[in-house]
Amino acid sequence: MQIPQFTELHAKQLSSFLNTQSQAMTLVQSQGYLFGVICSPNPLDVHEWLEQILPNTANDLDEEMLFLFMALYHKISEQVFETGYKLPDTFDAEFCKSWSKGFLVATKAYAEPLLNAPQLDVDFKQALESALSTLSFFALDQLAIAQIAKQNNMTIEALCQYQYESMGDFALGFAELIEVVAINSGLITDESWEE
């Protein structure tokens, strides 16, 4: 069976399915999570990332649902590596919060080893820290966001809009940044990256 092109109808089907699973991520969380997984220097296989999205139920998925998840993965991967990853045109607080939470789950596995790599140049480290903090910004609680807005003499709305625009910019180049940082960290070589 060929992986289908991921459509709005598929998004609705997956979203409805995920809402019926007790410990599952939401569709938007899954999108942020898969974005982080796809950009990872150590790609996960299907069952590993499915287990994160659907704890304890990933192995019981019927074929149709499995193919929908694979189609979603393929769509995000295509955006990351070919067409450019795009967030929705307009800022939506709930979308951002869920997306950032999913992204954080995915990057937890590889962000710290990269940031703590002794031979990583300080410029690369700062670039990675900026990208990670921007893309995970909306996972912060409201109080933290309010404090950041106050420190920067901005309204919460203006800060969120600014962060959302920055998120879009960082999302476009995040996979390339991870590749460059991973290679410069010495933890991953050019040869192992290609596998």
Q: pTM of whole model > 0.85?
A: yes
The full set of domain ranges for the chain reads 8-194
Tell me whether residue 142 is exposed, middle or buried, using C-beta atoms within 10 angstroms of its C-beta: 0 to 12, 13 to 18, 19 or more. exposed
Structure tokens at 157: 């709305």
Give residue-wise pLDDT tens across range 63-115: 888 999 999 999 999 999 999 999 999 999 999 999 999 999 999 989 999 99
CA distance 35 to 17: 20
Contact, 171 vs 138, CB < 8 A?
Answer: no
Give residue-wise pLDDT tens across range 55-69: 987 578 888 889 999
Q: What percent of the chain has pLDDT over 90?
A: 77
- The mean pLDDT of 186-191, rounded to a whole number, is 65
- Under CATH, domain 8-194 is a member of which superfamily? YgfB uncharacterised protein family PF03695 (1.20.120.740)
CA distance 31 to 26: 9
Structure tokens at 5: 């092109």
